[in-house]
Amino acid sequence: MTITAPAPTVFETVESEVRSYCRAWPVVFERASGSRLYDEQGRSYLDFFAGAGSLNYGHNNPVLKRALLEYIEGDGITHALDMSTTAKRAFLETFQSTVLQPRGLPYKVMFPGPTGTNAVEAALKLARKVKGREAVVSFTNAFHGMSLGSLAVTGNAFKRAGAGIPLVHATPMPFDNYLGGRVPDFLWFERLLEDQGSGLNHPAAVIVETIQGEGGVNVARAEWLRGLANLCRRRDMLLIVDDVQMGCGRTGDFFSFEEAGIVPDIVTMSKSISGYGLPMALCLFKPELDVWEPGEHNGTFRGNNPAFVTATAALQAYWGDGALRQQTLVHGGRVESALRRLCADHERSGASYRGRGLVWGIEFTDKQRAEAVCRKAFEHGLLVETSGPEGEVVKLLPPLTLTADELDEGLDILARSVHETA
């Protein structure tokens, strides 16, 4: 009997080898709604990936979709660079009244381009311009983007190697608990700043994620973040919080740094700020830092007006009260309880968990186990990905709008997948 191999697909013959997610989930997806995707055969997949955090409100959220369709049908502006439009005005007014003013945040809003790395590049450039210094401090296992400036403050060796050139003007410091609590917080950092022979140039800024999603769901304690903010004030360094993945309610509060009670000098946002998965990013900063000359930093697609429309609708629908925040915290408690039981059952294999809100990770001593769990979960209809420097962590990033039944369904599939790979 002769077995004929299937013909290569157009994805294999035309698309670049750089593609990645499609290798982990080898089906062709056709449609999506809420917390689920459907392949072209009609099979349903529960999505605990959520566009890498770009779909906090789920796929094709009906409230946002209605606003978008009405805007398009009314011939609303689509592309506008940084021209003033009704859509941009509505977003800025809503963002100010719904997000900034209730939190007492004075930030100016910059539209740097459509992606998270655009926002990070703008933040780094602004910090260096304000302080007149080039050095920036980042942290072990950080991930801030794939353009050169963002890669320079990223920890992952594989990602950094893709730059092909030296990545300079950035110095890594230990993230919270990197040394297992054996060393007082910021001891090394403070010593380098004090020592004229350390070789560390006085940094213009420090950039940090409150939770390192790509780095392995590493959660910074509130007291560590407060200590970092205090260090930055004392040493004349700007504090940049990268909230690209952890902002827009992922941890419960709209900003992930709210729990720590700090006010960063600069904040970067993207991913779920548009609410619908449309490209959009923000760079927020204190008014006294707004030293840009007109056109000094720009980008062709920084005026994505359909994204402004869905972002405005998302803010109005989900952030006018505390309902989504409370639901996220309740769901987060359910996840924590489930992972506690799961890891207790697999204590011998070195399983451990960590997270906050609706971002959680399970780490395995056997660094190949996480990938096997994700493959098995996919077979059972659940999308989850790995994270961490060696892919040793299974990361859970479901939509914030999922139901309790969907959450339990996903956690049951996850537990089954962990058991089957033991």
pLDDT tens per residue, range 50-101: 999 999 999 999 999 999 999 999 999 999 999 999 999 999 999 999 999 9
- Judge residue 203's burial from the number of C-beta atoms within 10 Å of its C-beta, 0-12 exposed, 13-18 middle, 19 or more buried: buried
Residue owning tokens 């992952």:
156
| Beta-bridge partners for 47 | 383
Helix (H, G, I), strand (E, B) or coil at 74: coil
* Strand ranges for 69-196 from DSSP E: 108-110, 136-139, 170-173
**6, two tokens:** 């299937």
Per-residue confidence (pLDDT) for residue 164, from 0 to 100:
96
Among 362, 409, 411, which residue's Cα sits nearest to residue 387? 362
Per-residue confidence (pLDDT) for residue 166, from 0 to 100:
95
Give the separation between CA 368 and CA 365, rounded to whole angstroms.
Answer: 9
Global pTM reads: 0.97
Per-residue confidence (pLDDT) for residue 232, from 0 to 100:
98
Per-residue confidence (pLDDT) for residue 256, from 0 to 100:
98
Per-residue confidence (pLDDT) for residue 5, from 0 to 100:
73
Give the separation between CA 141 and CA 155, rounded to whole angstroms.
Answer: 5
* Strand ranges for 155-194 from DSSP E: 170-173
CA triplet 215, 376, 416: central angle to 5 degrees?
100
Low-confidence ranges of the chain (pLDDT < 70): 1-2
